[in-house]
Structure formats: structure tokens, C-alpha cells
Chains A and B, each alone.
Chain A
Amino acid sequence: MSEKIFEPWNDPNEKPLIQFQNVTKRFGDFVAIDNQSFDIYAQEFFALLGPSGCGKTTLMRMLAGFEAPTTGEILLAGQNMAPIPPNKRAVNMMFQSYALFPHLSVWENIAFGLKRDKMPKPEIEARVDEMLKLTRLEQFAKRKPHQISGGQRQRVALARSLAKAPKLLLLDEPLGALDAKLRQDTQFELMDIQEKTGTTFVIVTHDQEEAMTVASRVAVMDHGHIVQADTPARIYEMPNSVYVADFIGDVTILKGTASPRDGGYDIHFAEGQPALHAKSDIELSKGAACYLAIRPEKIAISADKPEGVANAVQGKILDIAYLGNISTYHVELPTGQVIKTQTANTRRLSRRSFTWEDQVWLSWTDTAGVLLAG
């Protein structure tokens, strides 16, 4: 495969579509966005991920034009957006509540933005039909929003916001109102549509799985800051802070002190436990506080002490969470720490190897964990 990998953020020649330059937004005394600068590139699927109140919705509303930055500038294709009102921006938004006009049919909802542009009638008809086809809503064109299902409403909202072919599409928790199964299908549909239309998407979500699935890059936010903005894989495998490691996926975080050895560090995390070893590039002085973050699926569980592994600790099974395809074990060390591990359930349940109160060994390699400064 010689196909070029899509990562414009690594290409210094690439011009970003959207630039946030030292943007701060205050509501009274409350700082919603604190001096943030970052870029979003054309055709990206960019996810803003964080708990409620972290400022992700404020960022999106500033892009749409419903809020203005207190200080700093937002540039769209090099042009400062501040003086442009929402109705003049080449940006469309899909609202969390979908905000479909209840008095208009599906067809009229989708045509609403096109009519405002004074587009000739045949062109409007062609464009609406195209959107209906894209979102597979052809047979619902004449229905009112209250006569269709939640999933269909979600697609109408998407079709309406895409109809004007915006440079940038904003999606505010677009799948929040759908049930889990429908949500998964819709995530793939969204990616498909994003690819087909070549539109830049910015999605706001608090669901990390959703962000990881759809996005080319994920920005993890906390208290008005973007803590880390990177590809889903790097966010997961190489979190830059305890916050990101903890927010994304399941993880065990052990606190300890570091001492350098063999191009990595020994981590002393508890009295009476052997030191753990982890390879790492970060600079830590001897005795510095540090955290070791290990994903549960990278830890092996066995009944006997494994030979020739970098890290091995013994403990007792405290809890088992059976999730069908995998089981998560919570293993308590004699020193009190609880380590999470996951195994795929390749065997039938009746022949499971371990049960509650069993003494087991946990082991992982020296590259399995991520070492983070304390």
C-alpha cells in the first residue's frame, strides 16, 4: 500500500482550516476556555472529548458564532471569524437536540438553509434529493419530525446541516439520544458520510469510545484546557498525563518513585514489593515521584510465576467482571493496590481458569506501561 496516510497535522506545509490563537472565553468570573491555541485541518474528523463543563461545547459554539471569544482569535481559512455572524458563516451545526423545525416536513427542513441562500428551485430540489439519498431518508421526505423515529430524526438533522455544503460541520453530541446499538451503526455511517462529502467535521462528545471510533484526532479537554490532541491510538497508547490515561479507557495507575536503570526506570511503588521496570524516554531524576499507567489488556494473568518477564506481581482475585467477550479481573496485591487485567474469553465460561479468592500472578513487559511524571 503506497496510499498516503492522512495526517496533515504532521505536514509543516499543510495550511490549517481552523486556527485557534490564544483563545480565552470568560462567562463572568468563570473561565470556560483558558488561552488555547490549536489547529484543525481540512477534511479532518476532529473530536472534542471531555466531561461536562470542560469547555468543549463553548469551543464549538464559538466556531458556530453563537459565542465570541473574550480574547484571542479564531481563523477560518486564514480569516478572522469574530465579526461574521452565525448566519453568514460557512459553518453549519448539528444540534444535540437536533432542533428540527416541528412545523416543517423532512423535505422542508433539509431545504430550509438552501432557500435562505436564494438558490434556484430546481437546484434546491436536486440538492435535497441528494441529501435524502445520502442519509437514506427518501421515503420519509413528506413526514413531519414527530412522525419519524429518533434515528431518522438524527439523520434529518445531519442532512439539513450538510445540505449547504459547509466548509466545516459541527456536531454537538450527535448520537447522545440514540440507544447503544443504533449509536454504533450511526458512528460508522457518520464516518462514511464524512469521507464521501470530504467535509471537515468537529464533533463534541463525552463518550470516549465514540470519539475514538470516529475521529482522526481527539482533543481531550479538562477545565478549559486541551490536555492532549492526538490520534486515537496515540491518545490511548501514549497519554501525556495521568488525566488523559485515566479518562480514556480502563487503566491501572500505580504511584511510585523512579530510579534510572537500563534506558528506563525502576519504579518503587510499595514497601515489600519488587520494583517494577518500564522503558521510557521521559526525564526523571532519581527518587522523583512518578505514575505507571498500564492498560488491563497488556497484563497477563497466570496461576504460576512466569519466567523471564520484566514485571511480575502476585495477588488475589478480588472481583471478576464478565463482559461476554472479555473478563476483567481486579487483583489485589498484599500491599493493598488493585491492578486490573483483562483476558479474552476464548474458553467457555464453565472451564474458566480462575475464580474469586484465587492467588494469581500478573506479568507484563517493560514497554507495556506508560511512565508519567508525578
Chain B
Amino acid sequence: MRRASLILIPYLWLLALFLVPFLIVFKISLSDTALSIPPYRPQLDFATGWQEIRDFFGHLDFENFTFLTTDDLYWKAYISSLQIAFFSTIFTLLVGYPIAYGMANAPDHWRPTLMMLVILPFWTSFLIRVYSWIGILSNEGYLNQLLLSIGLISEPLHILNTNTAVYIGIVYTYLPFMILPIYSALERLDTSLLEAAEDLGCSRLTAFWLVTVPLSKNGIIAGCFLVFIPALGEFVIPSLLGGSKTLMIGKVLWEEFFNNRDWPVASAVAVILLLILIVPIILFQRNEQKQREADG
């Protein structure tokens, strides 16, 4: 009995905070848009009779999902989001791994400080940090000023409002999510394993490929999912740093909701996004589980 109630609490939590909102969004995605408040119908009203509720279910249909397949904007946005999320994950890994490696090999007394420096940006607002990148990347921004003053370029680089700026923003924002799991994997690495590899004939570089990389694999996988999953639905970064050509599903979703006030289509977009995310989330969970088993 006690055991059952213990298990019940997290399930109630999930039910209230995930399943119920999801069902509401799913319900809206099956409705039709309308000029009313809220801007869709049919409305579910439990006060009306049994017949009304049956009518309500009769009015729900998959029209909006069919609509998503007719306009190529949507699937292009999905593909483009996947692409941007995928490449920014790769870039974040390329930047994050050396940082994590450096931290794990730093002298013991330096590590807490380095860790602080990685976590520190979280203490300021995410929005402000993304805004400050506008000041760095714009045509009159600090980066162009610097490059112009040292004579490396003669024309300011056009970075802001391009996909490059979106990549920079995503890599910057999600870097700690990549660094921390990799760092924790590398920190646990026994240095005598590298000595053993060298002793058995490896050069430093082969020892890195054959020992360090495989043993930090779980950290790499965890870091990649922690970046890829939120980056896929990212909305703030593409809308602030991206240009008109930057197509990301998060932005489409926002415009659908607030510019077009087409809640049913926006909900359908969100439901599809969720379905796309379920695959990597399940893979991520399995990786975590495997690691727990290996540790246990």
C-alpha cells in the first residue's frame, strides 16, 4: 500500500504536468480554427448534456495534420531544424570535447574554478546572453570592429541574421550541456589505462583514440542528446539571431500561434515535433540505463 502510494506520486506528477497538457494540445490540433476566444472550435463544455459531448468528438478530425503535408513550409522547417540541430550538435561536440578534456587534465586545485566558469553563464538570463550576441555579431558589432581594426578584413562580415549566427548561438548556449557529461566521464578515467596503452605500444594519439574516446563514449552520447533535443525545438535563438531565410520549426510554431492565431495548426506542428523528439529521447534513456548497468 505504502509502496503503491510512493509510486503514485511521480505518476500523478507526470499526469498533471505532461500528459494532461499534451492531451489538451492534441485535442486542439484536432479542432478547427475559428474567430472566437479561444480561437478554435468545437469547445468542450461538460455542463451541456451527453449528446453535446458526443457531438464534440464527432467534430474532431485530422484535417490539420493533412494540411501540414500539403504546405511544404512545414516539412522543410522540420528538415531544416533537424539539420541545424544535427550540425550544431557536432560543432558543440568539437568545441566541448577539448574543453572537457582540458578540465579533466587540469591540476586538481584548478578544477572547481574551471567548473565555475562553465556554469557561470547560467546565472544570467538566457535572453540577455543571446541579445548580447547581436552586439557582437552585427555589422557594427565588436567582432567586425576587431577584425577591421587589425586589418584582417576590409568589409564587415555579415554574420547576424544568417544561419551561421544561429549555429554560433546554439553552440554557445548549449556548450555546458556538452561539457559537463563528457567531463564527468573523462574525470573518472584511470590514467594508468593510458600508461598501459603506451606501454603496450600505442603512441599518445592512438592511446587517445583507443582508450580515452571509447571510455568517454557515454559522456559524448549524453552530451549530444542534451544538445540535440532542445536545439531541435529552439525558438529564441533563430528568431533573434537568424534571418528571414532561417527556417526552424520552433519559429514556425510561434508564428502559427501568435501571428496567424491558428492554434489548431500550431498544435498539430507541436504534436509532430514531439513525435520526432520521442525517438532521440528514448535512445538517450537507453544510453543512460546502459551506463548505469555498466557502473553497477
Q: Which residues of A contact B (CB under 8 A)?
A: 64-66, 85-88, 91-93, 95-97, 99-103, 112-113, 116-117, 146, 160-161, 164
Segment 73-105 of B: residues with Cβ below 8 Å from A:
none
- Chain A residues whose C-beta falls within 8 Å of the C-beta of B206 in the assembled complex: 116
**Of B193, B201, B215, the contact of A87 (CB 8 Å cutoff):** B201
- Chain A residues whose C-beta falls within 8 Å of the C-beta of B193 in the assembled complex: 99, 101
Q: How far is the CB of A105 from the nearest CB of chain B, in Å?
A: 13
- Chain B residues whose C-beta falls within 8 Å of the C-beta of A113 in the assembled complex: 200-201
Q: Which of B197, B214, B217 has the most CB of A within 10 A?
A: B197
- Measured CB to CB, the nearest residue on chain A to B193 is A99
- Chain B residues whose C-beta falls within 8 Å of the C-beta of A101 in the assembled complex: 193, 196-197, 211
Q: How far is the CB of A123 from the nearest CB of chain B, in Å?
A: 15
- Given the interface contacts A86-B195, A97-B190, A97-B192, does A112 sit within 8 Å of B200 by beta carbon? yes
A116 near B192 with CB under 8 A, answer no
- Measured CB to CB, the nearest residue on chain A to B206 is A116
Q: Is the interface of B mostly helix, strand, loop or mixed?
A: helix
- Chain A residues whose C-beta falls within 8 Å of the C-beta of B294 in the assembled complex: 146
When chains A and B are docked, how far (Å) is the Cα of A123 from the Cα of B193? 25
**Of B190, B195, B200, B210, the contact of A160 (CB 8 Å cutoff):** B200
23 chain-A/chain-B pairs, Cβ below 8 angstroms: A65-B199, A85-B198, A86-B195, A86-B199, A87-B198, A87-B199, A88-B201, A91-B199, A92-B199, A92-B200, A99-B190, A99-B192, A99-B193, A100-B196, A112-B200, A112-B210, A113-B201, A116-B200, A116-B206, A117-B201, A146-B294, A161-B199, A161-B200
- Given the interface contacts A87-B203, A112-B200, does A103 sit within 8 Å of B215 by beta carbon? yes
Q: How far is the CB of B201 from the nearest CB of chain A, in Å?
A: 3
- Given the interface contacts A101-B211, A102-B215, A103-B214, does A116 sit within 8 Å of B201 by beta carbon? yes
- Chain B residues whose C-beta falls within 8 Å of the C-beta of A97 in the assembled complex: 190, 192
The answer to whether the Cβ of B221 comes within 8 Å of any Cβ in the partner chain is: no
- Chain A residues whose C-beta falls within 8 Å of the C-beta of B198 in the assembled complex: 85-87
The answer to whether the Cβ of B240 comes within 8 Å of any Cβ in the partner chain is: no
> What 0/1 pattern do residues 177 to 205 of B give for CB contact below 8 A with A?
00000000000001011011111111100
**Of A65, A93, A103, the contact of B196 (CB 8 Å cutoff):** A93
When chains A and B are docked, how far (Å) is the Cα of A86 from the Cα of B194? 11
A66 near B195 with CB under 8 A, answer yes
10 smallest beta-carbon distances between A and B, as pairs? A113-B200, A116-B201, A99-B196, A99-B192, A86-B198, A103-B214, A87-B198, A93-B199, A87-B201, A95-B192
Interface size on B, residues (CB 8 A): 19
Q: How far is the CB of B153 from the nearest CB of chain A, in Å?
A: 44
- Chain B residues whose C-beta falls within 8 Å of the C-beta of A65 in the assembled complex: 199
- Chain B residues whose C-beta falls within 8 Å of the C-beta of A99 in the assembled complex: 190, 192-193, 195-196
Q: Which of A85, A92, A116 has the most CB of B within 10 A?
A: A116
- Measured CB to CB, the nearest residue on chain B to A111 is B200
Q: How far is the CB of B181 from the nearest CB of chain A, in Å?
A: 17
- Chain A residues whose C-beta falls within 8 Å of the C-beta of B190 in the assembled complex: 97, 99
Q: How far is the CB of A47 from the nearest CB of chain B, in Å?
A: 20
- Chain B residues whose C-beta falls within 8 Å of the C-beta of A92 in the assembled complex: 199-200
Apart from A112-B197, A116-B202: 13 A-B pairs, beta carbons within 8 A: A85-B198, A86-B195, A86-B198, A86-B199, A87-B200, A95-B195, A99-B193, A101-B197, A101-B211, A103-B215, A112-B200, A116-B206, A160-B200
- Given the interface contacts A102-B215, A103-B215, does A95 sit within 8 Å of B196 by beta carbon? yes
Q: How far is the CB of B292 from the nearest CB of chain A, in Å?
A: 13
Q: How far is the CB of B188 from the nearest CB of chain A, in Å?
A: 11
- Measured CB to CB, the nearest residue on chain B to A146 is B294
When chains A and B are docked, how far (Å) is the Cα of A31 from the Cα of B192? 23
When chains A and B are docked, how far (Å) is the Cα of A97 from the Cα of B190? 9
When chains A and B are docked, how far (Å) is the Cα of A101 from the Cα of B196? 9
> What 0/1 pattern do residues 196 to 233 of B give for CB contact below 8 A with A?
11111111001000110011010000000000000000
- Chain B residues whose C-beta falls within 8 Å of the C-beta of A161 in the assembled complex: 199-200
Q: Which of B190, B195, B200, B294 has the most CB of A within 10 A?
A: B200
